[in-house]
Amino acid sequence: MSVAYPSILDQLGLGAPIALAGIGGGCIADARVATFTNGAKVFVKCAAVAAEMFEREAAGLSALAEAQAIRVPRVLAVGKEALVLEFIQPAAKKHGFAAEFGRSFARLHQHRGKTCGFMHDNFIGSTPQCNSPLGVSWEEAGSDDGSTWPAFFMERRLRFQVRLAAGKGYGDELKHLLDRAEARILDLLNLATEPAVILHGDLWGGNYIVDECGEPCLIDPAVYFGHREADLAMTRLFGGFEPSFYSAYEEVAPLAHGHQERLPIYQLYHILNHLNLFGSAYLGQAQRILQALL
């Protein structure tokens, strides 16, 4: 092809691509499909907005794949400038797609980690996501029963995002509200202690695709180990998941009593992240959630 292509594609041993077509849907990286002379296709993400973004995404995909519960694209090559993934040809959803997705997602959440957090920090969208266990390194952390989760979520998720928001000029009101709501948040989260399990971390309707067999495939993760209710809360924030997804999930892994009351706490993390990514349209929603907890 006459135009330049990402040099990482040379690692595949397929020669230069004959086509490099842009595709829509992403707002963080430039996404393209590369086609080679033998007909092979790969998915390429370029133009990371932060160092190590693609390496962290590749590590998250690999961690999800280890659970052997839901398909994720295979990582073919990764570097600071680009990420090359298996190309998955989209197709229509098969009959019973939503229910099977829910059961598979519940099985994903049976893959346990030793503690809350992850082996390294990563990103949720383009926002840094701090995954260090509280007080120790990942390597030093011992296995726990999930009792560290409420404090982890408060510090590594909510307070981290509120500090970012303050730095972007949204004032001290969010911090003041979070300080006042902290005891109530911790009390509610302590009512459902469970061992930490692997989380996609950012599962909304745009972060899964339907593969060539009509089955779900997870993409664009923000992986860490934590409480499964946090993963499910994001699925309910913007829609895109049928009721049978949730009923099938609970057939495999029933949720603890009070999960609906904890739902807005977990959604608050993503609303704060959207505030930091996209601006003040999300400020009022974040304030209302916190005010309701006072």
Closest alpha carbon to 269 in 205, 202, 210, 186: 202
E strands, the chain, are: 19-22, 30-35, 41-46, 75-78, 82-86, 122-124, 127-129, 197-199, 208-210, 216-218, 224-226
CA distance 264 to 206: 20
202 flagged as catalytic: yes
Annotated catalytic residue within 121, 172, 179, 202: 202
Both structure tokens of 55: 């390496």
Closest alpha carbon to 101 in 208, 202, 225, 226: 208
Is the alpha carbon torsion for 147, 151, 156, 158 positive or negative?
Answer: positive
Both structure tokens of 14: 């397929």
Look up tokens 């902290």; give the residue.
182
CA distance 60 to 238: 23
Q: Report the catalytic residues.
A: 202
